[in-house]
């Protein structure tokens, strides 16, 4: 068995899961000031992702941990070469997590407004920078023979990378709007459905342009059908949202992210971090750990990954009901209200 290849595929799967699940979290956070006309609406939006957002981030932790263990040279070059954008993402995720927990600890409008801004920036910044980073990973960076990345920050802000950032930001925002139309009711749902169409005006052309550019410049022949699938799923998802088929629309936008991520990793293979001088590139073969390490990792993954997936699937099932203003404590004139069985409890 080619264990390095298996672990490259496993890492691609982990990143795909992260972008699909955390993508709609980022979208909800980015839309908070747009759809949340008052505090109750904003609480509805945050409660829609309240039971799952921290579990979704486990996919990121697992993906980065797998890169560290399976491809330590890739991990070292990536995190050192992209130090500033990675640091900004880390700080944004920390601030975002704190904001979710602390927003409801104060009773003033100013307190909640400041934490709402933290949620917005903590969602928008990673959504933008992940696209910039992965576009640079695919296109390649300046790197020495010792695999030290020498590209500066301005070198990373190429037109292709900036288009990648716009693509992930707009696509995740669209994905979040579809999720809100599926997960909420009342005024928030109505605004989310309208926002899907507005966001699509940016997300669709940006995604199409980025995927076509990726395919023409870096793609393999077998990634071309996936580009077609991603574009078809995205346009179909927007159309389904307009028809009120939120479940199918969410499935379609999720499929778009899956296909787009596979296109990126497929365009990257067999390299894991291309260099402007091809001889200096990191590949699946020269960046991998020893077979013993990969074998132990494989047995651990086989044992525990199904349990983690089963638990996360169970949590989504339990909190599957729509959230409305009436589920927010104190939102109605009658004062207290109790969420129905299967609905998310108040988190903020």
Percent of the chain scoring above 70 in pLDDT:
94
Phi, psi of 316 (to 5 degrees): -65, -35
Q: How far apart are CA 133 and CA 120, in angstroms?
A: 20
Instruction: Give the mean model confidence (pLDDT) for residues 104-116.
Output: 86
pLDDT for residue 312: 81
**Would you say residue 172 has pLDDT above 50?**
yes
**Would you say residue 299 has pLDDT above 50?**
yes
Of 194, 203, 251, 266, give the one whose Cα is nearest residue 231. 203
**Would you say residue 1 has pLDDT above 70?**
no
Is residue 327 within 8 Å of 84, Cβ to Cβ?
Answer: no
Is residue 347 within 8 Å of 101, Cβ to Cβ?
Answer: no
For the chain, the three-class secondary structure string (H helix, E strand, C coil) is CCHHHHHHHHHHHHHHHHHHHHHHHHHHHHHHHHHCCCHHHHHHHHHHHCCCHHHHCHHHHHHHHHHHHHCHHHHHHHHHHCHHHHHHHHHHHHHHHHHHHHHHHCCCHHHHHHHHHHHHHHHHHHHHHHHHHHHHHHHCECECCCCCECCCHHHHCCHHHHHHHHHHHHHHHHHHHHHHHHHECCHHHHHHHHHHHHHHHHHHHHHHHHHHHHHHHHCCHHHHHHHHHHHHHHHHHHHHHHCCCHHHHHHHHHHHHHHHHHHHHHHHCCEEECECCHHHCEECCCCCCCHHHHHHHHHHHHHHHHHHHHHHHHHHHHCCCCECHHHCCCCECCECCCCCCCCCCCCC
pLDDT for residue 346: 38
Bridge partners, residue 141, by sequence: 275
Instruction: Give the mean model confidence (pLDDT) for residues 155-166.
Output: 92
Of 65, 57, 53, 51, give the one whose Cα is nearest residue 18. 57
**Would you say residue 344 has pLDDT above 50?**
no
Q: Using 50, 70 and 90 to split pLDDT, how confident is the model at 335?
A: very low
Highest mean pLDDT among 104-108, 143-147, 201-205, 267-271: 201-205
Is residue 99 within 8 Å of 158, Cβ to Cβ?
Answer: no
> Directed axis angle between helix 246-268 and helix 3-35, to 10°?
140
- Using CA atoms, how far residue 182 sits from 223, 246, 294, in Å, is 30, 5, 40
> Looking at per-residue confidence, does 152 or 332 come out higher?
152
**Would you say residue 164 has pLDDT above 90?**
yes
Q: pTM for the full model?
A: 0.88
Contacts of 311 (CB under 8 A, 6+ apart): none
* Phi-psi sector, 96: left (phi>0), alpha (psi -120 to 50), beta: alpha
Per residue in 179-196, pLDDT (tens digit) is 999 888 888 888 988 899
Domain ranges (residues) in the chain:
3-304
Tokens 């980073």 belong to which residue? 133
Is residue 19 within 8 Å of 257, Cβ to Cβ?
Answer: yes
Superfamily (CATH) of domain 3-304: Formate dehydrogenase/DMSO reductase domain (1.20.1630.10)
Contacts of 178 (CB under 8 A, 6+ apart): 24, 192, 196, 237, 241, 246, 249, 250, 253
């Amino acid at each position: 068995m080619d264990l390095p290849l298996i672990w490259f595929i496993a890492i691609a799967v982990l990143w795909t899961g992260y972008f699909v699940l955390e993508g709609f979290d980022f979208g909800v956070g980015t839309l908070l000031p747009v759809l949340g006309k008052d505090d109750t609406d904003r609480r509805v939006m945050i409660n829609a992702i309240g039971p799952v957002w921290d579990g979704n981030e486990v996919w990121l932790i697992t993906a980065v941990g797998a890169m560290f263990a399976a491809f330590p040279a890739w991990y070292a070059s990536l995190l050192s070469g992209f130090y500033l954008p990675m640091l900004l993402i880390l700080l944004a995720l920390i601030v975002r997590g704190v904001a979710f927990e602390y927003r409801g600890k104060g009773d003033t409008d100013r307190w909640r407004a400041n934490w709402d801004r933290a949620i917005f920036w903590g969602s928008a910044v990673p959504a933008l920078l992940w696209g910039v980073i992965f576009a640079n990973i695919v296109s390649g960076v300046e790197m020495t023979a010792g695999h030290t990345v020498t590209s500066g920050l301005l070198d990373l802000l190429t037109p292709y990378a900036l288009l990648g950032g716009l693509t992930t930001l707009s696509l995740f925002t669209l994905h979040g709007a579809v999720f809100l139309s599926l997960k909420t009711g009342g005024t928030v749902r109505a605004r989310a459905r309208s926002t899907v169409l507005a966001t699509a005006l940016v997300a669709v052309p940006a995604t199409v342009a980025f995927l076509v550019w990726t395919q023409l410049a870096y793609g393999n022949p077998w990634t071309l059908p996936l580009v077609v699938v991603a574009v078809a799923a995205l346009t179909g998802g927007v159309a389904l949202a307009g028809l009120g088929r939120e479940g199918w629309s969410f499935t379609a936008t999720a499929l778009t992210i899956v296909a787009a991520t596979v296109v990126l990793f497929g365009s990257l293979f067999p390299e894991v971090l291309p260099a402007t001088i091809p001889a200096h590139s990191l590949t699946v073969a020269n960046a991998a750990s020893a077979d013993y390490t990969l074998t132990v990792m494989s047995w651990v993954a086989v044992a525990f990954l199904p349990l983690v997936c089963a638990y996360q699937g169970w949590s989504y099932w339990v909190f599957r009901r729509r959230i409305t203003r009436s589920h927010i404590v104190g939102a109605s004139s009658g004062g207290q209200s109790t969420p129905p069985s299967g609905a998310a409890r108040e988190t903020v």
